[in-house]
Amino acid sequence: MATFNSHLVLCLIMAISLSNIDANRAARSLLQTSQPALPTIPPLPQATLPPLPAMPNLPTTTTLPPLPAVPNLPSMPNMPATTLSPLPAMPNLPTTMLPPLPTTMPTNPNVALPPMPGMPSIPTTIPSFPFLSPPPSN
């Protein structure tokens, strides 16, 4: 089945390449020929539109009546002055003593970490394969 597929692909590639040669030859021969005379296009008739109707005269507005006067509103009565009683004094809060901050910082314990695994090295040489080497000379 694989042989059939490879033969089919090979036949398709050959058919496309051979048809491309003929297409190139045909295109070149078309480019080398002279252009044929194109027929003239007859003029199109001009469409005549009916005239637009005239704009009707809009009625003119007469002067508008004046707006009514704003009536005089009675003035607001004076509010009686209010006196507020004084606020009570703030009570004395008890003061608290905070303990003093330590002057020395405690030391961290020494913890031994396990060793890091070694990184694998990347080979820098290309291995030689016997089927890629040239044949021995005579």
Express as a percent the part of the chain with pLDDT over 90: 0
pLDDT in tens, 71-117: 888 888 888 888 888 888 888 888 888 888 888 888 888 888 888 88
> CA-based Rg of the chain, rounded to a whole angstrom?
53
Report the predicted TM-score, pTM, of the whole model to 2 decimal places.
0.19
Residue 109 C-alpha from the chain's centroid: 53
Residue 23 has pLDDT above 80, yes or no: no
pLDDT at 129: 66
Burial 1-17 (b: 16+ CB within 10 A, else e): eeeeeeeeeeeeeeeee
Residue 135 has pLDDT above 80, yes or no: no
Residue 1 has pLDDT above 80, yes or no: no
Residue 134 has pLDDT above 70, yes or no: no
Tell me the torsion sign for CA atoms 7, 12, 15, 20: negative
